[in-house]
Structure 1
Amino acid sequence: MADIPSVLITGASTGIGSTYADRFARRGHDLVLVARDRKRMEALAARLREETGVAIDIVQADLTQASELAVVEARLRDDARIGILVNNAGTALGGGFLDQSTDDVTRLVALNTTAPLRLASAVSPRLAGAGKGAIINIGSVVGVAPEFAMTVYGATKAFILFLSQGLSLELGPKGVYVQAVLPAATRTEIWGHAGADVNTMSGVMDVNELVDAALVGFDRREPVTIPPLPDAEQWNAYQAARQAMLPNVAQAHAAERYRTAV
Protein backbone atom coordinates (compact mmCIF):
# COMPACT_ATOMS: atom_id res chain seq x y z
CA MET A 1 0.00 0.00 0.00
CA ALA A 2 2.91 2.35 0.68
CA ASP A 3 3.73 2.55 -3.03
CA ILE A 4 0.17 3.41 -4.04
CA PRO A 5 -0.14 7.21 -4.39
CA SER A 6 -2.92 9.22 -2.85
CA VAL A 7 -5.36 10.92 -5.22
CA LEU A 8 -6.63 14.47 -4.81
CA ILE A 9 -9.97 14.99 -6.56
CA THR A 10 -11.70 18.34 -6.99
CA GLY A 11 -15.45 18.59 -7.36
CA ALA A 12 -15.52 15.36 -5.36
CA SER A 13 -18.89 15.67 -3.66
CA THR A 14 -21.01 14.44 -6.56
CA GLY A 15 -21.08 13.32 -10.19
CA ILE A 16 -17.84 12.59 -12.00
CA GLY A 17 -15.70 13.56 -9.02
CA SER A 18 -17.43 11.28 -6.52
CA THR A 19 -17.33 8.43 -9.04
CA TYR A 20 -13.58 8.87 -9.50
CA ALA A 21 -13.29 8.77 -5.71
CA ASP A 22 -15.17 5.48 -5.62
CA ARG A 23 -13.07 3.91 -8.37
CA PHE A 24 -9.69 5.02 -7.04
CA ALA A 25 -10.63 3.92 -3.52
CA ARG A 26 -11.48 0.47 -4.88
CA ARG A 27 -8.03 0.42 -6.48
CA GLY A 28 -6.51 0.95 -3.04
CA HIS A 29 -5.66 4.66 -3.26
CA ASP A 30 -6.03 6.95 -0.26
CA LEU A 31 -8.00 10.08 -1.17
CA VAL A 32 -8.12 13.82 -0.60
CA LEU A 33 -11.61 15.05 -1.48
CA VAL A 34 -12.09 18.72 -2.36
CA ALA A 35 -15.44 20.45 -2.87
CA ARG A 36 -17.74 23.03 -1.31
CA ASP A 37 -20.28 20.56 0.10
CA ARG A 38 -18.71 19.08 3.24
CA LYS A 39 -21.80 17.07 4.20
CA ARG A 40 -21.81 15.17 0.91
CA MET A 41 -18.07 14.56 1.08
CA GLU A 42 -18.37 13.25 4.62
CA ALA A 43 -21.09 10.82 3.56
CA LEU A 44 -19.03 9.65 0.59
CA ALA A 45 -15.91 9.31 2.72
CA ALA A 46 -17.73 7.31 5.39
CA ARG A 47 -19.05 4.87 2.82
CA LEU A 48 -15.73 4.42 1.06
CA ARG A 49 -13.78 4.01 4.30
CA GLU A 50 -16.17 1.24 5.33
CA GLU A 51 -16.21 -0.47 1.93
CA THR A 52 -12.54 -0.14 0.98
CA GLY A 53 -10.54 0.68 4.10
CA VAL A 54 -8.64 3.55 2.48
CA ALA A 55 -7.76 6.75 4.32
CA ILE A 56 -9.72 9.80 3.21
CA ASP A 57 -9.16 13.47 4.01
CA ILE A 58 -11.70 16.19 3.29
CA VAL A 59 -10.87 19.75 2.26
CA GLN A 60 -13.87 22.04 2.02
CA ALA A 61 -13.02 24.73 -0.52
CA ASP A 62 -14.60 27.04 -3.05
CA LEU A 63 -11.98 27.07 -5.80
CA THR A 64 -13.19 30.43 -7.12
CA GLN A 65 -11.95 32.01 -3.87
CA ALA A 66 -8.22 32.74 -3.93
CA SER A 67 -7.64 32.01 -0.24
CA GLU A 68 -9.41 28.66 -0.38
CA LEU A 69 -7.74 27.68 -3.65
CA ALA A 70 -4.39 28.46 -2.01
CA VAL A 71 -5.07 25.87 0.71
CA VAL A 72 -5.46 23.16 -1.92
CA GLU A 73 -2.38 24.37 -3.79
CA ALA A 74 -0.34 24.11 -0.60
CA ARG A 75 -1.60 20.58 0.02
CA LEU A 76 -0.52 19.56 -3.48
CA ARG A 77 2.91 21.15 -3.08
CA ASP A 78 3.62 19.79 0.38
CA ASP A 79 1.98 16.36 0.60
CA ALA A 80 4.40 13.91 -1.02
CA ARG A 81 1.83 11.13 -0.74
CA ILE A 82 -0.34 12.73 -3.43
CA GLY A 83 0.71 11.33 -6.79
CA ILE A 84 -2.45 11.84 -8.83
CA LEU A 85 -4.48 15.03 -9.30
CA VAL A 86 -7.98 14.83 -10.78
CA ASN A 87 -8.95 18.34 -11.95
CA ASN A 88 -12.68 17.78 -12.16
CA ALA A 89 -14.38 20.77 -10.51
CA GLY A 90 -16.31 22.83 -13.02
CA THR A 91 -19.65 24.36 -13.84
CA ALA A 92 -21.76 25.60 -16.74
CA LEU A 93 -24.19 28.43 -17.43
CA GLY A 94 -27.52 28.52 -19.16
CA GLY A 95 -28.35 30.78 -22.07
CA GLY A 96 -26.22 32.29 -24.78
CA PHE A 97 -23.33 34.73 -24.46
CA LEU A 98 -25.61 37.78 -24.66
CA ASP A 99 -27.75 36.41 -21.84
CA GLN A 100 -24.89 35.69 -19.42
CA SER A 101 -23.67 38.34 -17.01
CA THR A 102 -20.03 39.32 -16.98
CA ASP A 103 -19.77 38.37 -13.30
CA ASP A 104 -21.20 34.91 -13.97
CA VAL A 105 -18.86 34.16 -16.86
CA THR A 106 -15.93 35.45 -14.82
CA ARG A 107 -16.74 32.97 -12.05
CA LEU A 108 -17.14 30.22 -14.64
CA VAL A 109 -13.71 30.95 -16.09
CA ALA A 110 -12.17 31.08 -12.61
CA LEU A 111 -13.49 27.62 -11.72
CA ASN A 112 -13.08 25.93 -15.10
CA THR A 113 -9.66 27.29 -16.07
CA THR A 114 -7.83 29.24 -13.37
CA ALA A 115 -8.34 26.64 -10.63
CA PRO A 116 -7.14 23.61 -12.64
CA LEU A 117 -4.23 25.63 -14.00
CA ARG A 118 -3.09 26.69 -10.53
CA LEU A 119 -3.51 23.21 -9.09
CA ALA A 120 -1.54 21.65 -11.93
CA SER A 121 1.11 24.31 -11.44
CA ALA A 122 1.27 23.52 -7.72
CA VAL A 123 1.76 19.77 -8.11
CA SER A 124 3.78 19.51 -11.34
CA PRO A 125 7.23 20.47 -10.00
CA ARG A 126 7.01 17.86 -7.26
CA LEU A 127 5.80 15.12 -9.61
CA ALA A 128 8.43 15.98 -12.22
CA GLY A 129 11.09 15.92 -9.52
CA ALA A 130 9.94 12.48 -8.44
CA GLY A 131 9.78 11.29 -12.04
CA LYS A 132 6.28 9.87 -11.64
CA GLY A 133 2.64 10.80 -11.11
CA ALA A 134 -0.40 11.79 -13.12
CA ILE A 135 -2.75 14.69 -13.78
CA ILE A 136 -6.25 14.00 -15.07
CA ASN A 137 -8.03 17.05 -16.48
CA ILE A 138 -11.75 16.77 -17.16
CA GLY A 139 -12.59 18.67 -20.32
CA SER A 140 -15.50 18.23 -22.71
CA VAL A 141 -16.19 17.51 -26.36
CA VAL A 142 -17.74 20.99 -26.37
CA GLY A 143 -14.17 22.28 -26.33
CA VAL A 144 -13.74 21.19 -29.95
CA ALA A 145 -17.27 22.06 -31.06
CA PRO A 146 -18.26 25.75 -31.12
CA GLU A 147 -21.30 24.56 -33.08
CA PHE A 148 -22.81 23.35 -29.78
CA ALA A 149 -23.52 27.01 -28.88
CA MET A 150 -21.93 26.95 -25.41
CA THR A 151 -19.43 29.70 -26.14
CA VAL A 152 -17.78 30.46 -22.80
CA TYR A 153 -18.11 26.96 -21.36
CA GLY A 154 -16.68 25.52 -24.57
CA ALA A 155 -13.83 28.02 -24.50
CA THR A 156 -12.89 26.91 -20.98
CA LYS A 157 -12.88 23.28 -22.08
CA ALA A 158 -10.78 24.11 -25.15
CA PHE A 159 -8.31 25.64 -22.69
CA ILE A 160 -8.30 22.42 -20.66
CA LEU A 161 -7.58 20.34 -23.76
CA PHE A 162 -4.76 22.60 -24.92
CA LEU A 163 -3.31 22.81 -21.41
CA SER A 164 -3.37 19.03 -21.11
CA GLN A 165 -1.71 18.50 -24.48
CA GLY A 166 0.96 21.07 -23.72
CA LEU A 167 1.64 19.63 -20.28
CA SER A 168 1.81 16.16 -21.77
CA LEU A 169 4.58 17.29 -24.10
CA GLU A 170 6.46 19.04 -21.29
CA LEU A 171 5.92 16.64 -18.41
CA GLY A 172 5.72 13.31 -20.23
CA PRO A 173 9.49 13.08 -20.74
CA LYS A 174 9.89 13.71 -17.00
CA GLY A 175 7.71 10.72 -16.10
CA VAL A 176 4.44 12.54 -15.44
CA TYR A 177 1.37 11.31 -17.32
CA VAL A 178 -1.25 13.92 -18.28
CA GLN A 179 -4.67 12.83 -19.52
CA ALA A 180 -7.45 15.01 -20.93
CA VAL A 181 -10.86 13.38 -20.61
CA LEU A 182 -13.50 14.73 -23.00
CA PRO A 183 -16.99 13.59 -22.01
CA ALA A 184 -20.07 14.37 -24.04
CA ALA A 185 -23.42 14.78 -22.24
CA THR A 186 -23.18 12.94 -18.93
CA ARG A 187 -25.83 12.49 -16.26
CA THR A 188 -24.58 14.85 -13.54
CA GLU A 189 -25.86 17.89 -11.66
CA ILE A 190 -24.06 20.30 -14.00
CA TRP A 191 -27.17 20.41 -16.18
CA GLY A 192 -29.13 21.97 -13.34
CA HIS A 193 -26.52 24.74 -13.16
CA ALA A 194 -27.18 25.42 -16.83
CA GLY A 195 -30.95 25.44 -16.32
CA ALA A 196 -31.53 22.23 -18.27
CA ASP A 197 -33.51 19.12 -17.28
CA VAL A 198 -31.25 16.18 -18.03
CA ASN A 199 -34.22 13.81 -17.79
CA THR A 200 -35.67 15.28 -20.97
CA MET A 201 -32.45 14.75 -22.94
CA SER A 202 -31.41 11.81 -25.10
CA GLY A 203 -27.91 10.47 -25.66
CA VAL A 204 -26.80 11.11 -22.07
CA MET A 205 -24.12 8.79 -20.68
CA ASP A 206 -24.32 7.36 -17.18
CA VAL A 207 -21.57 8.81 -14.99
CA ASN A 208 -20.36 5.37 -13.91
CA GLU A 209 -19.88 4.31 -17.52
CA LEU A 210 -18.11 7.58 -18.28
CA VAL A 211 -15.57 7.26 -15.47
CA ASP A 212 -14.98 3.55 -16.07
CA ALA A 213 -14.23 4.28 -19.74
CA ALA A 214 -11.98 7.20 -18.80
CA LEU A 215 -10.01 4.91 -16.50
CA VAL A 216 -9.50 2.45 -19.33
CA GLY A 217 -7.89 5.35 -21.20
CA PHE A 218 -5.92 6.20 -18.05
CA ASP A 219 -4.56 2.68 -17.78
CA ARG A 220 -3.63 2.77 -21.47
CA ARG A 221 -1.88 6.12 -20.90
CA GLU A 222 -3.89 7.88 -23.60
CA PRO A 223 -3.14 11.62 -23.79
CA VAL A 224 -6.74 12.33 -24.82
CA THR A 225 -9.66 10.05 -23.94
CA ILE A 226 -13.07 10.62 -25.54
CA PRO A 227 -15.34 7.94 -24.03
CA PRO A 228 -18.30 8.37 -26.43
CA LEU A 229 -16.22 8.40 -29.66
CA PRO A 230 -16.63 5.03 -31.45
CA ASP A 231 -13.79 5.43 -33.95
CA ALA A 232 -10.42 6.51 -32.55
CA GLU A 233 -9.21 7.12 -36.10
CA GLN A 234 -11.46 10.18 -36.31
CA TRP A 235 -9.50 11.80 -33.50
CA ASN A 236 -6.22 10.65 -35.05
CA ALA A 237 -7.24 12.21 -38.37
CA TYR A 238 -8.19 15.45 -36.59
CA GLN A 239 -4.77 15.55 -34.97
CA ALA A 240 -3.00 14.71 -38.22
CA ALA A 241 -4.82 17.50 -40.09
CA ARG A 242 -3.86 20.00 -37.40
CA GLN A 243 -0.24 18.89 -37.37
CA ALA A 244 -0.05 19.00 -41.16
CA MET A 245 -0.66 22.76 -41.02
CA LEU A 246 2.21 23.46 -38.65
CA PRO A 247 5.07 23.54 -41.18
CA ASN A 248 3.10 26.00 -43.29
CA VAL A 249 2.41 28.68 -40.69
CA ALA A 250 6.01 29.72 -39.97
CA GLN A 251 6.42 32.09 -42.90
CA ALA A 252 8.11 35.48 -43.22
CA HIS A 253 5.42 36.75 -45.59
CA ALA A 254 1.69 36.52 -45.95
CA ALA A 255 0.41 33.65 -48.02
CA GLU A 256 -0.09 34.33 -51.71
CA ARG A 257 -3.87 34.16 -51.28
CA TYR A 258 -3.73 37.29 -49.11
CA ARG A 259 -1.58 39.39 -51.44
CA THR A 260 -4.35 40.36 -53.81
CA ALA A 261 -7.29 42.45 -52.67
CA VAL A 262 -10.74 41.14 -53.51
Structure 2
Amino acid sequence: MTTALITGASSGIGAVYADRLAARGLDLVLVARAADKLEERAARLRQAYAVAVEVLPADLTEPTQLAQVEARLGGAPIGLLINNAGANLPGTFDTADAADLDWLIRLNVTAPTRLARAAIPGMVARGEGAIVNIGSVVGLAPDIFPDTYSATKSFLLTLSQALATQFGPKGIYVQAVLPAATRTDIWARSGRNVDDLPAVMEVEDLVDAALNGFDRREPVSIPVLPDAAQWEAFEAARRAMLPGFSHAKPAARYAS
Protein backbone atom coordinates (compact mmCIF):
# COMPACT_ATOMS: atom_id res chain seq x y z
CA MET A 1 0.00 0.00 0.00
CA THR A 2 1.66 3.19 -1.16
CA THR A 3 -1.30 5.62 -1.23
CA ALA A 4 -4.20 6.08 1.17
CA LEU A 5 -7.37 8.09 0.59
CA ILE A 6 -8.92 9.47 3.77
CA THR A 7 -12.35 11.09 3.98
CA GLY A 8 -13.11 13.63 6.68
CA ALA A 9 -9.38 14.37 6.76
CA SER A 10 -9.47 18.03 7.81
CA SER A 11 -9.88 17.37 11.54
CA GLY A 12 -10.49 14.77 14.22
CA ILE A 13 -10.04 11.09 13.45
CA GLY A 14 -9.30 11.63 9.77
CA ALA A 15 -6.58 14.19 10.49
CA VAL A 16 -4.83 11.86 12.94
CA TYR A 17 -5.02 9.00 10.45
CA ALA A 18 -3.37 11.29 7.91
CA ASP A 19 -0.53 12.04 10.30
CA ARG A 20 0.00 8.43 11.33
CA LEU A 21 -0.10 7.05 7.79
CA ALA A 22 2.23 9.76 6.50
CA ALA A 23 4.63 8.81 9.30
CA ARG A 24 4.52 5.27 7.92
CA GLY A 25 5.57 6.61 4.52
CA LEU A 26 2.24 6.42 2.69
CA ASP A 27 1.31 9.05 0.14
CA LEU A 28 -2.10 10.57 0.83
CA VAL A 29 -5.25 11.83 -0.83
CA LEU A 30 -7.12 14.01 1.66
CA VAL A 31 -10.86 14.50 1.22
CA ALA A 32 -13.08 16.95 3.12
CA ARG A 33 -15.26 19.97 2.50
CA ALA A 34 -12.86 22.56 3.94
CA ALA A 35 -10.30 23.15 1.18
CA ASP A 36 -8.30 25.68 3.23
CA LYS A 37 -7.88 23.28 6.15
CA LEU A 38 -6.89 20.48 3.79
CA GLU A 39 -4.24 22.64 2.14
CA GLU A 40 -2.79 23.63 5.50
CA ARG A 41 -2.67 20.03 6.68
CA ALA A 42 -1.20 18.82 3.40
CA ALA A 43 1.60 21.38 3.61
CA ARG A 44 2.49 20.29 7.14
CA LEU A 45 2.49 16.62 6.22
CA ARG A 46 4.65 17.14 3.14
CA GLN A 47 7.19 19.05 5.20
CA ALA A 48 7.17 16.68 8.17
CA TYR A 49 7.23 13.35 6.34
CA ALA A 50 8.37 14.04 2.76
CA VAL A 51 5.35 12.25 1.29
CA ALA A 52 3.11 13.23 -1.59
CA VAL A 53 -0.19 14.69 -0.40
CA GLU A 54 -3.05 15.38 -2.80
CA VAL A 55 -5.96 17.56 -1.73
CA LEU A 56 -9.44 16.73 -3.01
CA PRO A 57 -12.11 19.04 -1.55
CA ALA A 58 -15.54 17.43 -1.75
CA ASP A 59 -18.91 17.37 -0.03
CA LEU A 60 -19.72 13.67 -0.06
CA THR A 61 -23.46 14.36 0.19
CA GLU A 62 -23.41 16.09 -3.20
CA PRO A 63 -23.64 13.55 -6.05
CA THR A 64 -21.31 15.37 -8.43
CA GLN A 65 -18.60 15.84 -5.81
CA LEU A 66 -18.99 12.27 -4.56
CA ALA A 67 -18.53 11.09 -8.13
CA GLN A 68 -15.23 13.00 -8.31
CA VAL A 69 -13.89 11.07 -5.32
CA GLU A 70 -15.15 7.82 -6.85
CA ALA A 71 -13.28 8.67 -10.04
CA ARG A 72 -10.10 9.29 -8.06
CA LEU A 73 -10.45 5.88 -6.40
CA GLY A 74 -10.81 4.32 -9.83
CA GLY A 75 -7.79 6.15 -11.24
CA ALA A 76 -4.19 6.01 -9.98
CA PRO A 77 -3.93 3.10 -7.53
CA ILE A 78 -5.23 3.63 -4.00
CA GLY A 79 -4.10 0.84 -1.70
CA LEU A 80 -5.97 1.97 1.42
CA LEU A 81 -9.36 3.66 1.80
CA ILE A 82 -10.25 5.18 5.18
CA ASN A 83 -14.02 5.76 5.19
CA ASN A 84 -14.07 8.19 8.10
CA ALA A 85 -16.37 11.09 7.16
CA GLY A 86 -19.57 11.05 9.18
CA ALA A 87 -21.91 13.17 11.25
CA ASN A 88 -24.84 13.15 13.64
CA LEU A 89 -27.91 15.36 13.99
CA PRO A 90 -29.20 17.39 16.92
CA GLY A 91 -32.44 16.38 18.53
CA THR A 92 -34.20 13.03 18.32
CA PHE A 93 -35.68 10.89 15.57
CA ASP A 94 -39.14 12.40 15.94
CA THR A 95 -37.85 15.98 15.91
CA ALA A 96 -35.37 15.61 13.03
CA ASP A 97 -36.31 17.14 9.70
CA ALA A 98 -36.81 14.54 6.96
CA ALA A 99 -34.36 16.34 4.69
CA ASP A 100 -31.73 16.24 7.44
CA LEU A 101 -32.25 12.52 7.88
CA ASP A 102 -31.75 12.06 4.16
CA TRP A 103 -28.53 14.12 4.35
CA LEU A 104 -27.25 12.02 7.27
CA ILE A 105 -27.88 8.76 5.43
CA ARG A 106 -26.16 10.09 2.30
CA LEU A 107 -23.07 10.96 4.34
CA ASN A 108 -22.91 8.02 6.76
CA VAL A 109 -24.23 5.23 4.51
CA THR A 110 -24.36 6.10 0.81
CA ALA A 111 -20.96 7.77 0.56
CA PRO A 112 -18.85 5.05 2.24
CA THR A 113 -20.72 2.35 0.33
CA ARG A 114 -20.09 4.00 -3.02
CA LEU A 115 -16.47 4.79 -2.22
CA ALA A 116 -15.81 1.19 -1.23
CA ARG A 117 -17.49 0.10 -4.47
CA ALA A 118 -15.23 2.45 -6.43
CA ALA A 119 -12.06 1.24 -4.70
CA ILE A 120 -12.58 -2.52 -4.76
CA PRO A 121 -12.24 -3.30 -8.51
CA GLY A 122 -8.71 -1.90 -8.65
CA MET A 123 -7.77 -3.63 -5.42
CA VAL A 124 -9.07 -6.95 -6.70
CA ALA A 125 -7.18 -6.50 -9.98
CA ARG A 126 -3.97 -5.88 -8.03
CA GLY A 127 -4.69 -8.68 -5.58
CA GLU A 128 -4.29 -6.47 -2.52
CA GLY A 129 -5.75 -3.49 -0.72
CA ALA A 130 -7.53 -2.47 2.46
CA ILE A 131 -10.67 -0.60 3.47
CA VAL A 132 -11.21 0.82 6.96
CA ASN A 133 -14.77 1.81 7.86
CA ILE A 134 -15.13 4.00 10.95
CA GLY A 135 -18.28 2.83 12.67
CA SER A 136 -19.24 3.16 16.34
CA VAL A 137 -20.02 1.01 19.34
CA VAL A 138 -23.54 2.46 19.25
CA GLY A 139 -24.07 0.37 16.12
CA LEU A 140 -24.16 -2.51 18.60
CA ALA A 141 -26.11 -0.62 21.25
CA PRO A 142 -29.09 1.29 19.83
CA ASP A 143 -30.70 1.05 23.27
CA ILE A 144 -27.97 3.36 24.61
CA PHE A 145 -28.01 5.84 21.71
CA PRO A 146 -31.44 5.41 20.10
CA ASP A 147 -31.34 7.43 16.89
CA THR A 148 -30.58 7.24 13.18
CA TYR A 149 -26.86 7.69 13.78
CA SER A 150 -26.72 4.32 15.55
CA ALA A 151 -28.52 2.70 12.63
CA THR A 152 -26.05 4.13 10.12
CA LYS A 153 -23.12 2.80 12.14
CA SER A 154 -24.76 -0.61 12.37
CA PHE A 155 -24.93 -0.58 8.58
CA LEU A 156 -21.20 0.15 8.35
CA LEU A 157 -20.38 -2.83 10.56
CA THR A 158 -22.54 -5.15 8.46
CA LEU A 159 -21.11 -3.73 5.24
CA SER A 160 -17.58 -4.31 6.51
CA GLN A 161 -18.33 -7.91 7.43
CA ALA A 162 -20.02 -8.56 4.09
CA LEU A 163 -17.12 -7.09 2.12
CA ALA A 164 -14.60 -9.05 4.19
CA THR A 165 -16.48 -12.28 3.47
CA GLN A 166 -16.70 -11.61 -0.27
CA PHE A 167 -13.33 -10.00 -0.97
CA GLY A 168 -11.07 -11.26 1.79
CA PRO A 169 -10.21 -14.35 -0.30
CA LYS A 170 -9.20 -11.96 -3.10
CA GLY A 171 -6.60 -10.18 -1.00
CA ILE A 172 -8.72 -7.30 0.33
CA TYR A 173 -8.56 -6.65 4.07
CA VAL A 174 -11.59 -4.87 5.54
CA GLN A 175 -11.55 -3.48 9.07
CA ALA A 176 -14.50 -2.04 10.95
CA VAL A 177 -13.38 0.32 13.72
CA LEU A 178 -15.95 0.88 16.46
CA PRO A 179 -15.04 3.87 18.64
CA ALA A 180 -16.89 4.79 21.78
CA ALA A 181 -17.17 8.45 22.77
CA THR A 182 -14.17 10.24 21.26
CA ARG A 183 -13.19 13.89 21.54
CA THR A 184 -14.10 15.18 18.07
CA ASP A 185 -16.19 17.99 16.60
CA ILE A 186 -19.14 15.66 16.00
CA TRP A 187 -20.49 16.38 19.47
CA ALA A 188 -20.68 20.15 19.12
CA ARG A 189 -22.08 19.86 15.61
CA SER A 190 -24.89 17.63 16.88
CA GLY A 191 -25.70 19.94 19.78
CA ARG A 192 -24.12 17.83 22.52
CA ASN A 193 -21.48 18.75 25.09
CA VAL A 194 -18.70 16.16 25.05
CA ASP A 195 -17.72 17.13 28.60
CA ASP A 196 -21.09 15.88 29.86
CA LEU A 197 -20.09 12.31 28.94
CA PRO A 198 -18.72 10.01 31.66
CA ALA A 199 -15.66 8.92 29.65
CA VAL A 200 -14.16 10.30 26.45
CA MET A 201 -11.22 8.85 24.50
CA GLU A 202 -8.68 11.18 22.92
CA VAL A 203 -8.47 10.97 19.13
CA GLU A 204 -4.79 10.05 19.07
CA ASP A 205 -5.39 7.11 21.41
CA LEU A 206 -8.27 5.89 19.27
CA VAL A 207 -6.37 6.00 15.99
CA ASP A 208 -3.24 4.40 17.45
CA ALA A 209 -5.34 1.54 18.84
CA ALA A 210 -7.21 1.16 15.55
CA LEU A 211 -3.92 0.97 13.65
CA ASN A 212 -2.73 -1.65 16.11
CA GLY A 213 -5.82 -3.66 15.18
CA PHE A 214 -5.12 -2.94 11.52
CA ASP A 215 -1.60 -4.36 11.82
CA ARG A 216 -3.06 -7.46 13.48
CA ARG A 217 -5.62 -7.72 10.66
CA GLU A 218 -8.57 -7.67 13.04
CA PRO A 219 -11.88 -7.70 11.16
CA VAL A 220 -13.49 -5.61 13.91
CA SER A 221 -11.55 -3.37 16.28
CA ILE A 222 -13.21 -1.97 19.41
CA PRO A 223 -10.50 0.10 21.11
CA VAL A 224 -12.52 0.81 24.25
CA LEU A 225 -13.46 -2.84 24.98
CA PRO A 226 -11.16 -4.34 27.67
CA ASP A 227 -12.14 -7.99 27.16
CA ALA A 228 -11.81 -9.20 23.56
CA ALA A 229 -13.45 -12.47 24.60
CA GLN A 230 -16.77 -10.64 24.94
CA TRP A 231 -16.72 -9.66 21.25
CA GLU A 232 -15.60 -13.17 20.30
CA ALA A 233 -18.50 -14.65 22.27
CA PHE A 234 -20.90 -12.21 20.61
CA GLU A 235 -19.67 -13.26 17.16
CA ALA A 236 -19.78 -16.94 18.08
CA ALA A 237 -23.41 -16.59 19.21
CA ARG A 238 -24.29 -14.84 15.95
CA ARG A 239 -22.68 -17.55 13.86
CA ALA A 240 -24.35 -20.27 15.94
CA MET A 241 -27.73 -18.98 14.77
CA LEU A 242 -26.90 -19.25 11.06
CA PRO A 243 -28.03 -22.88 10.59
CA GLY A 244 -31.36 -21.94 12.14
CA PHE A 245 -32.00 -19.45 9.34
CA SER A 246 -32.40 -22.25 6.76
CA HIS A 247 -35.84 -23.69 7.44
CA ALA A 248 -38.89 -23.70 5.23
CA LYS A 249 -41.39 -23.59 8.11
CA PRO A 250 -41.80 -21.26 11.06
CA ALA A 251 -40.14 -22.39 14.26
CA ALA A 252 -42.29 -24.44 16.62
CA ARG A 253 -42.32 -21.56 19.09
CA TYR A 254 -44.49 -19.61 16.61
CA ALA A 255 -47.09 -22.37 16.24
CA SER A 256 -50.58 -21.31 17.30
Q: Does 2:22 align with 1:25?
A: yes
1:93 to 85, 89, 100: 89
1:39 to 36, 39, 44: 36
1:74 corresponds to which letter in structure 2?
A
- In structure 1, list runs of 5 or more residues that go unmatched: none
2:180 corresponds to which letter in structure 1?
A
C-alpha distance in structure 2 between counterparts of 1:98 and 1:142, whole Å: 19
1:121 to 108, 117, 124: 117
C-alpha offsets along residues 76-131 of structure 1, whole Å, 9 cap, x if unaligned?
00112x10000000000122111111111110000000000000000101101111
TM-fit CA distance, 1:202: 2.5
TM-fit CA distance, 1:200: 3.0
C-alpha distance in structure 2 between counterparts of 1:117 and 1:150, whole Å: 23
8 Å CA contact 1:132, 1:175 repeated in 2: yes
1:189 corresponds to which letter in structure 2?
D
Alignment of 1:7-22 (within 5 A): 7-22=4-19
User: What is the DSSP-based 3-state SS (H/G/I as helix, E as strand, rest coil) of the residue aligned with 1:147?
Assistant: coil
Q: Name the residue aligned to 1:71.
A: 68
CA RMSD of aligned residues (A): 0.8
8 Å CA contact 1:77, 1:123 repeated in 2: yes
C-alpha distance in structure 1 between counterparts of 2:204 and 2:146, whole Å: 25
Q: Does 2:64 align with 1:60?
A: no
Q: Does 2:166 align with 1:162?
A: no
C-alpha offsets along residues 40-84 of structure 1, whole Å, 9 cap, x if unaligned?
11111111111111110000000000000000000000112x100
C-alpha offsets along residues 209-228 of structure 1, whole Å, 9 cap, x if unaligned?
00000000000000000000
TM-fit CA distance, 1:170: 0.7
Q: Name the residue aligned to 1:184.
A: 180
2:202 to 199, 206, 209: 206
Q: Which moved more, 1:33-42 or 1:195-204?
A: 195-204
Q: Does 2:220 align with 1:236?
A: no
C-alpha distance in structure 2 between counterparts of 1:119 and 1:252, whole Å: 37
Identity %: 56
TM-fit CA distance, 1:201: 2.4
TM-score (norm. length: structure 1): 0.96
Q: Does 2:254 align with 1:247?
A: no
1:59 corresponds to which letter in structure 2?
L
Q: How many residues align?
A: 256
Moved over 6 A (4+): none
Q: Does 2:216 align with 1:224?
A: no
C-alpha distance in structure 2 between counterparts of 1:5 and 1:52, whole Å: 14
2:48 corresponds to which letter in structure 1?
E
2:54 corresponds to which letter in structure 1?
D
1:6 to 3, 8, 17: 3
8 Å CA contact 1:96, 1:149 repeated in 2: no
User: What is the DSSP-based 3-state SS (H/G/I as helix, E as strand, rest coil) of the residue aligned with 1:99?
Assistant: coil
